[in-house]
Amino acid sequence: MLKKIIIFGLLFSICFNIFADDEEIIMPKNVISTEGLIINSLLVSAMIREFAIITAFQYERQIMKKFSLGSRVEMFYFGEDMINFSAEVHARYYPSSDVFFLNGILGYAAFLHSFEMDAQRSLTNYFLIGAKIGWRIDFGKPGGFVLEPSFGYTLAFGKTINAIDDDYEWYIFTNEFMNALIRNMVGGPKVSICLGYRF
| Mean pLDDT value across residues 134-139 | 91
pLDDT score of 89: 97
- 8 part of a folded domain: no
Segments in 2-126 forming alpha helices (H): 2-25, 38-48
Q: Structural domain tally of the chain?
A: 1
User: At residue 94, what are phi and psi to the nearest 5 degrees?
Assistant: -105, 105
pLDDT score of 104: 97
Residue 87 binned pLDDT confidence (cut-offs 50, 70, 90): very high
pLDDT score of 98: 75
- 103 part of a folded domain: yes
Q: Is the pLDDT of residue 111 over 70?
A: yes
- 183/4 Cα distance (integer angstroms): 73
Q: Is the pTM of this model over 0.75?
A: no
pLDDT score of 173: 63
- 10 part of a folded domain: no
Over pLDDT 90: what percentage of the chain?
34
pLDDT digits (tens, 9 = 90+) for 31-51: 999 987 665 666 666 665 666
- 15 part of a folded domain: no
Which has more pLDDT, 1 or 198? 198
- 68 part of a folded domain: yes
pLDDT score of 33: 95
Task: Report the chain's C-alpha Rg in angstroms.
Answer: 24
Residue 168 belongs to a domain with what CATH number?
2.40.160.20
- 7 part of a folded domain: no
pLDDT digits (tens, 9 = 90+) for 52-83: 677 889 999 999 989 999 999 988 777 667 78
Residue 17 binned pLDDT confidence (cut-offs 50, 70, 90): low
- 177 part of a folded domain: yes
Over pLDDT 70: what percentage of the chain?
63
Q: Is the pLDDT of residue 139 over 70?
A: yes
Residue 187 binned pLDDT confidence (cut-offs 50, 70, 90): confident
- 48 part of a folded domain: yes
Range of the domain at 55: 28-198
**SS3 sequence of 142-192:** CCEEEEEEEEEEEEEEEEEECCCCCCCHHHHHHHHHHHHHHHHHHCEEEEE
